[in-house]
Structure 1
Amino acid sequence: MSQPEIKSTLPTIGQQATHIFAPLQREIDRVFSEFGRGFGMTETFAVPSLDFSETAQGIELKLDVPGYTESELTVTVEDDRLIVHGHKTDQTESGDKTYRVLERRSGEFTRQVTLPRTVDAEGFTANLKDGVLTIVASKTNESVGRTIPIQAASPAA
């Protein structure tokens, strides 16, 4: 005898939120994304999204930095860390305007990534196109480790 199928009113993971609580979820998301604005916390904001991939030839990082120019971003390598720093100045105009909505952010971010030991520290390139910062580095030809041979102990005399 088969069991009757039980239908759930809740969406499954990854399903579009079209259920009765979707408007509430969107409002909660909006409140958390704008949390700091009401307290004057506009100096820093969320770090950009990052994709980090590795191939046999090297590594590639992609960061979403829409609205940034090359002069507002710096990329540095220190030891085994890649550091991306962005700084955007205030974009509001002074004068006789009264802002009703102010959502364009200013401030700065810093994003750090630990690099694999095989990355060539001198072989980095960075390119900014369509709001995506792409950083590429090649790998060195040096081996990461080596095998140490084990020798038989000579008998004691």
Structure 2
Amino acid sequence: MDLRSIVPSLWGRPAGSPDPFRAMHREMDRLFDEFGQTFRTSAPAARFNGLTPNINVSETDEAIEITVELPGVAEDDIDLTLVDNMLTIRGEKKSEIEEKDKNYHLVERSFGSFERSIALPYELDTDQIKADFQKGVLTVRLPKPPEIEAKTKKIQISSNN
């Protein structure tokens, strides 16, 4: 019996067959990473075995918040640094068990090192930066300096009647 016939397929495509859109997406990511690294840092972009951890960057009047999805990564395997307004997240997702006697028919889990760098628009008070890691999500809160915090002012609207 061909086990590939019982492995789930994605959108009618047999499981394990190459996805041209995924390959194109990875290649575009690689090109943009290499292009961006030329201007931002001399270190090459380390990849999460072909994948880059997903990041959200949000902003309020008081802070910038960065969340990074790192499922399966141990807290001790994450390194967070800030150098010259460049926040860098490095780490490694390690394989728990190496099984040589198994005949795998589908492998989608990835392991290896990763690195993401985010240029910040201003200098921060490094003593105020907070990082929290829960359930595979790293959250970094970067408070804005007081002179950067947005000041809200109500503007009166009038009609010309």
Q: Do the two structures share a fold, i.e. TM-score over 0.5?
A: yes
2:86 maps to 81
Task: Sort the Cα spacing of 1:87 and 1:143 in 2 relative to 1 into closer, same or farther, 3 A.
Answer: closer
Contact 1:124 1:135 in 2 (8 A): yes
- Is 1:130 paired with 2:135? yes
1:111 maps to 116
The size of the alignment, in residue pairs, is 116
Asked if the contact 2:74/2:93 (under 8 Å) is kept, the reply is no
Relative to its length, the structure with more helix (as a share) is 2
CA RMSD of aligned residues (A): 3.3
Q: Distance in 1 between matches of 2:48 and 2:122?
A: 34
The one-letter amino acid paired with 2:114 is F
Q: Indicate conservation of the 8 Å contact 2:49/2:110, yes or no.
A: no
- Over the matched positions of the two proteins, sequence identity in percent amounts to 26
TM-score normalized with structure 2 length: 0.59
Q: 1:69 Cα deviation (Å)? A: 1.3
Q: Which has the larger radius of gyration?
A: 1
Q: Residues 66-77 of structure 1 correspond to what in structure 2 (within 5 A)?
A: 66-77=71-82
Mapped contact 1:125–1:137 kept (Cα < 8 A): yes
Aligned partners of 2:108 and 2:117: how far apart in 1?
A: 26
What's the counterpart of residue 3 of structure 1?
A: none
In the alignment, which residue of structure 1 is the partner of 2:12? 23
- Partner of residue 103 from structure 2, selected from 94, 99, 118: 99
Structure 2 contact 82–88 (Cα < 8 Å) conserved:
yes
Alignment-mate amino acid for residue 70 of structure 1: E
Q: Which structure carries more strand by proportion?
A: 1
